[in-house]
Amino acid sequence: MSIDQGTTGTTAVLWDKNGVSVGQANLEHKQYYPRAGWVEHDAEEIWNNVVDTVARVLKEAGAGAGELSAIGIANQRETIVFWDRESGKPLEKAIVWQCRRTSEMCRLLKEEGYEEMVRQKTGLLLDPYFSGTKLRWALENLSVVAEAAEKGSLACGTIDSYLLYRLTGGRVFATDYSNASRTLLFDIHNLRWDPELMELFKVPPGILPQTLPSSYQYGRTDPDSFMGLSIPVGGMAGDQQAALFGQACYKPGMSKNTYGTGSFLLMNIGDKPVLSEQGLLTTVAWGINNRIEYALEGSIFITGAAVQWLRDGLGLIGQSSELEGLAKQVDDNGGVYFVPAFVGLGAPYWDPYARGLMIGITGGTSGAHLARAVIEAMAYQTRDVLEIMYREAGLPLQELRVDGGASVMDLLLRFQADLTNTTVRRTATFDTTALGAAYLAGLASGFWSNQDELAAGWRQNAVFEPGMSEAARDALYRKWQKAVERSLGWAEGEFSDSAQD
| Rounded percentage of the chain residues whose pLDDT exceeds 70 | 97
Q: What are phi and psi of 309, to 5 degrees?
A: -65, -45
Give the residue-averaged pLDDT of 44-51. 96
pLDDT tens for residues 360-394? 999 999 999 999 999 999 999 999 999 899 889 88
**Is pLDDT at 497 greater than 80 in this prediction?**
no
Q: Which residues contact 48 (CB under 8 A, 6 or more apart)?
A: none
pLDDT tens for residues 143-176? 999 999 999 999 999 999 999 999 999 999 999 9
- Cα–Cα distance between 103 and 347 in angstroms, integer? 18
- Cα–Cα distance between 149 and 276 in angstroms, integer? 35
pLDDT at 493: 55
Instruction: Kindly provide the b/e burial profile for residues 108-143, where b requires at least 16 CB atoms within 10 angstroms of the residue's own CB.
Output: ebeeeebbeebbebbbbbbbbbbbbbbbbbbbeebe
Per DSSP, the residues of 333-358 read -TT-EEE--BTBB-TTT-BTT---EE
pLDDT range class, residue 429, cuts 50, 70, 90: confident
**Is pLDDT at 205 greater than 80 in this prediction?**
yes
pLDDT tens for residues 237-253? 999 999 999 999 999 99
- Cα–Cα distance between 343 and 353 in angstroms, integer? 8
Residue type, 492: E
pLDDT at 339: 95
Per DSSP, the residues of 368-403 read HHHHHHHHHHHHHHHHHHHHHHHHHHT----EEEEE
Give the sign of the dihedral formed by CA 275, CA 281, CA 287, CA 293: negative
> Under CATH, what is the fold of the domain 2-241?
Nucleotidyltransferase; domain 5 (3.30.420)
pLDDT tens for residues 256-314? 999 887 888 999 999 999 998 888 999 999 999 889 999 999 988 888 888 888 998 89
| Residue 466 DSSP code | -
- Cα–Cα distance between 486 and 480 in angstroms, integer? 10
Spell out the domain ranges in the chain: 2-241
pLDDT at 347: 82
pLDDT at 496: 45
Neighbour count for residue 309 (Cβ, 10 Å): 16
